[in-house]
Amino acid sequence: MDWYEKLNQYFPIEEMKSQKHMELLLQEKGDIYHKDEGQNHVMMYVEMDDFIFIDYLFVSKEARGQGLGKKLLNKLKKKEKPIILEVEPVDYEETDTQKRLKFYEREGFHHAKSIGYRRRSLATNEITELEILYWSPDEKDEESIFQKMKKTYETIHTYKDEEMYGERYENVDEVLSFKEEET
């Protein structure tokens, strides 16, 4: 099974980029968009000067619980940059979402509660709400994470979207929102 099939079988269709889109990112944005692939994992990530965004992280069922996910994250943490990722909100009827959140919490990730993220899938036309998690080697405020997420959305998620899908994703300000914490 090739890398895209692994991702496509694991991630919901509303969260997936097309294979053509990912290959274009690897080819045309290869200085920042990367694929780390092995027999039991696929990790697609963006490395900017001041942060890393994990686009997809897949570890096969056979390899879960053996430290592979931790090893992959530690490889990125060694770069000493904030790491940002999107996750589905916990669905208490689906244990995978609970396990995923617990894994990231164990690895020191925090939920960016002040960041709202609602994106319309071009594949299904459904609105998908995702939560933003982040890890940082030093204390980063959520406003900083929000700005980095906006940059990722504009640089990666919407890259040549009209060419790839025949229509454009929504504007970043319609998708991402920031709510100041009340004091």
Taking only the tens place, the pLDDT of each residue in 16-71 is: 999 999 999 999 999 999 999 999 999 999 999 999 999 999 999 899 889 999 99
Domains in the chain (CATH in brackets) are 3-178 (3.40.630.30)
Q: What is the mean pLDDT of residues 74-92?
A: 91
CB 87 within 8 A of CB 130: yes
Run of H or E residues at 42: strand 41-47
Q: Are strands 41-47 and 52-59 parallel, antiparallel or unpaired?
A: antiparallel
Q: How many CB atoms lie within 10 A of CB 100?
A: 17
Q: Residue 110's closest CA among 87, 79, 93?
A: 87
**pTM of this structure:** 0.94
How far is CA 3 from its chain centroid? 16
pLDDT for 93: 66
Instruction: Give the pLDDT score at 96.
Output: 73
The model's confidence at residue 183, banded by pLDDT at 50, 70 and 90, is very low
